Amino acid sequence: MIDRREALGALTLAAGAALAPLTLHARPRTDTRLPPALSPGDMVGIIAPAGASGGAERLERVRHTIAGMGLVPRMGQFVGEQFGYLAGTDSQRALDINAFYADPEVKALFAIRGGWGCARLLPLLDWESIRRHPKLLIGYSDITALHLAFAARAGFPTLHAPNAANSWPRTSWESLWYLAFAGATPLLGPAGVALAGRMPTAPDGPVTGGITTITPGRATGRLLGGNLTVLTALGGSPYLPDFAGAILFLEDVGEEEYRIDRMLTQLALAGALGRVAGVVFGQCSRCTAPTPPTPGTGFALDDILRQHLAPLGVPVFTGANIGHVRDQLSLPSGALVEMDADAGTIRPLAPIVRRIGSD
């Protein structure tokens, strides 16, 4: 399997990203058109923009999963291809995305899996066509590169949610349904999804489900972020949106504590952290060194997060069910939201989809 850090490091060096400000080159989009809401019977495109899809058996499971949502899956032309560790060449993977955004029968796109490879596609996407045909893009992990690029170049919300090949437990499915099908503005938090009021509370206080409030308060802003490693690898490129006034959400997997420290340091030095209105840090799965450090010679992940996030002076909470976890929330990436660091919740302030006939 490809070492993601090696691949991301090569791209960063090639682009000179380590030397350029993270927010300098992104041209902000102010488009207001929304993707169409999904309805049972809608056709959706299945893409493999990153790692190889895993063969016919996985593709069949994806078909069953999407059909179980009441949707009709249309497989991309090249989803079964393999080019090294990628699902086909860069051109093939980009062609599937471009074709689905140009196809009026296709109402949304689901990524099969993450891995590595989405950033390689960004110069090959037809951004004018994508802007003209807003549709929900659904996925997470390496799909972060597409979510961020869409926020910078397309101007409509996407869904940071499980990939099509993942399991879809109740929290993931309900949050996707309310956002994508119902066009609702649900409260997303540690107890799952609620349409009105607050999340259920613990007997001894307002925080449940492993949420830790670093800095209390509420904040409003555009929800931007995703996988921390993928986000920092886009530094200095025109595919990273402006984080000024944003609610930054982060997650990662398989990164030791010092690497999280290094990436947060990069965001701080580039001026991104100092401009956000709030921060939500989800789960960092398997983010511990294989050998615990000698007492007094290392930092726990919680220490690192407090060192970087507490001085920002904006609302911050950690432990959200976001990331490489089974019950992850589906989140409205690129949408205007309100976060509550005391309750550990995120709520979109307006629907992220439009009903047919609402143009």
CATH (domain of 337): 3.40.50.10740
**Are 119 and 230 spatial neighbours (Cβ–Cβ below 8 Å)?**
yes
**Residue ranges making up the domain that contains 207:** 4-348
**Are 275 and 241 spatial neighbours (Cβ–Cβ below 8 Å)?**
no
Tell me the pairing of strands 247-253 and 278-285: parallel
Per-residue pLDDT for 333 more than 60? Answer: yes
**Are 149 and 344 spatial neighbours (Cβ–Cβ below 8 Å)?**
no
Task: Give a yes or no: residue 356 inside a domain.
Answer: no
pLDDT grade for 18, boundaries at 50, 70 and 90: very low
Task: Give a yes or no: residue 358 inside a domain.
Answer: no
Task: Give a yes or no: residue 320 inside a domain.
Answer: yes
pLDDT in the model for residue 289: 76
- 325 vs 9, more confident: 325
Instruction: Give catalytic residue positions.
Output: 141, 251, 324
Mean pLDDT of 206-212: 66
Neighbours of 203 (CB within 10 A): 5
Per-residue pLDDT for 154 more than 50? Answer: yes
Per-residue pLDDT for 293 more than 50? Answer: yes
**Are 47 and 112 spatial neighbours (Cβ–Cβ below 8 Å)?**
yes
Total domain count, the chain: 1
Per-residue pLDDT for 110 more than 90? Answer: yes
Per-residue pLDDT for 22 more than 90? Answer: no
pLDDT in the model for residue 3: 45
Task: Give a yes or no: residue 8 inside a domain.
Answer: yes
In whole angstroms, what is the distance from residue 5 CA to residue 233 CA? 10
Give backbone dihedrals phi and psi of 348, rounded to 5 degrees, phi first.
-65, 145
Per-residue pLDDT for 317 more than 80? Answer: yes
**Are 51 and 83 spatial neighbours (Cβ–Cβ below 8 Å)?**
no
In whole angstroms, what is the distance from residue 114 CA to residue 298 CA? 31
Among 15-19, 164-168, 217-221, 281-285, which stretch is predicted with the lowest mean pLDDT?
15-19
Task: Give a yes or no: residue 243 inside a domain.
Answer: yes
Tell me the pairing of strands 187-189 and 192-194: antiparallel
Cα distance between the two ends of the chain = 46
pLDDT digits (tens, 9 = 90+) for 25-61: 344 444 558 999 999 999 999 999 999 998 899 999 9
Question: Mean pLDDT across the chain, nearest whole number?
Answer: 89
pLDDT grade for 198, boundaries at 50, 70 and 90: low
In whole angstroms, what is the distance from residue 132 CA to residue 101 CA? 9
**Are 15 and 158 spatial neighbours (Cβ–Cβ below 8 Å)?**
no
Mean pLDDT of 232-241: 96
Neighbours of 195 (CB within 10 A): 11
At residue 230, the 3 state secondary structure works out as: helix
> Which residue type is seen at 157?
P
Mean pLDDT of 238-257: 96
pLDDT in the model for residue 200: 53
Task: Give a yes or no: residue 20 inside a domain.
Answer: yes
Task: Give a yes or no: residue 213 inside a domain.
Answer: yes
Task: Give a yes or no: residue 354 inside a domain.
Answer: no
35, 36, 88, 186 from 183: Cα distances, Å:
10, 9, 34, 9
CA-based nearest residue to 97, from 82, 115, 112: 112
Quick one: how far is CA 277 from the chain centroid? 18
pLDDT grade for 356, boundaries at 50, 70 and 90: confident
As a dihedral over the C-alpha atoms of residue 217, residue 240, residue 157, residue 121, rounded to 10 degrees, the angle is: -150
pLDDT grade for 298, boundaries at 50, 70 and 90: confident
* Stated length of the chain: 359
For residue 319, what are the contacts with CB-CB under 8 A and spacing of at least 6?
190, 209, 210, 211, 212, 281, 282, 283, 344
pLDDT in the model for residue 349: 98
Per-residue pLDDT for 206 more than 90? Answer: no
